[in-house]
Amino acid sequence: MDDQTRRGLVGIAIALLSFGIGLAVAAAFLSPDTAGERAAQFQALAAAASLVASVVLIVVTAQYVRLTGDIASETRDARLDALRPALVLELEPIGALHTVFSLVNAGQGTAVDVDVTITFHPRDADKADHSVRWRAPSLAPGSHAQFMPESQMNTDVIVNAYSHVTVEGETKDVAGRVHPVKVLVDDLPGWNALVVTAHQRAEPDQLKRIADAVSKLAK
For residue 48, with 0-12 CB atoms within 10 Å meaning exposed, 13-18 middle and 19 or more buried, which class applies?
Answer: middle
- The CA distance from 47 to 55, in Å, is 12
Cα distance between residue 17 and residue 12, in whole Å: 9
Distance separating alpha carbons of residues 150 and 138, to the nearest angstrom: 25
Please list the alpha-helical segments (H only) found in 29-146: 37-81
pLDDT at 136: 96
Q: Is the dihedral of CA 14, 20, 25, 30 positive or negative?
A: positive
Residue 75 has, within 13 A of its CA and on its CB side, a CA count of: 6
Query: What does the pLDDT profile of the chain (219 residues) look like in tens digits?
Result: 555 665 555 566 566 556 555 555 555 554 455 555 665 665 666 666 666 667 767 777 777 777 777 776 766 666 767 789 999 998 888 877 888 899 999 999 999 999 999 999 998 888 899 999 999 999 999 999 999 888 777 888 888 889 899 999 999 999 899 999 999 988 777 776 665 555 454 454 555 555 565 555 555
What pTM, to 2 d.p., does this model score? Answer: 0.57
Q: Is 170 exposed, middle or buried (0-12, 13-18, 19+ CB in 10 A)?
A: middle
pLDDT of residue 43: 63
Q: Which residues of 77-87 are buried (b: 16+ CB within 10 A; e: fewer)?
A: eeeeeebbbbb
How many Å apart are CA 185 and CA 159, to the nearest integer? Answer: 12
CA–CA separation, 180 and 87 (whole Å): 10
**Phi and psi, residue 35, nearest 5°:** -70, -20
Q: What pLDDT sits at residue 186? A: 85
